[in-house]
Chain A
Amino acid sequence: GESVGLHLPTLSVQEGDNSIINCAYSNSASDYFIWYKQESGKGPQFIIDIRSNMDKRQGQRVTVLLNKTVKHLSLQIAATQPGDSAVYFCAEIRNSGNTPLVFGKGTRLSVIA
Chain B
Amino acid sequence: DADVTQTPRNRITKTGKRIMLECSQTKGHDRMYWYRQDPGLGLQLIYYSFDVKDINKGEISDGYSVSRQAQAKFSLSLESAIPNQTALYFCATSDSGGPWFFGQGTRLTVV
List chain A positions with a Cβ less than 8 A from chain B: 32, 34, 36, 41-46, 49, 89, 91, 96-98, 100-101, 103-106
Q: Do B97 and A45 touch (CB < 8 A)?
A: no
Q: Looking at B58, B99, B101, B103, which has the most chain A CB atoms within 10 Å of its CB? A: B99
CB-defined A-B contacts under 8 Å, sample of 26: A34-B99, A41-B105, A43-B102, A43-B103, A43-B104, A43-B105, A44-B43, A44-B100, A45-B102, A46-B100, A46-B101, A89-B43, A96-B96, A96-B97, A97-B97, A100-B33, A100-B45, A100-B48, A100-B58, A101-B92, A103-B43, A103-B44, A104-B42, A105-B41, A106-B41, A106-B42
Distance in Å from the Cβ of A22 to the closest Cβ of chain B? 15
Q: Do A42 and B42 touch (CB < 8 A)?
A: no
Residues of A within 8 A of B102 (CB): 36, 43-45
Interface size on B, residues (CB 8 A): 23
Residues of A within 8 A of B33 (CB): 100-101
Q: Tell me the number of A-to-B contacts counted with CB atoms below 8 Å.
A: 52
Residues of B within 8 A of A97 (CB): 94, 96-98
Q: How far is the CA of A100 from the CA of B58 in the complex (A)?
A: 9
> Would you call B90 an interface residue if the criterion is a C-beta within 8 Å of the partner chain's C-beta atoms?
yes
Q: How far is the CA of A101 from the CA of B90 in the complex (A)?
A: 13
Residues of A within 8 A of B1 (CB): 43, 45-46
CB contact under 8 A between A89 and B105, given known A49-B99, A100-B33 = no
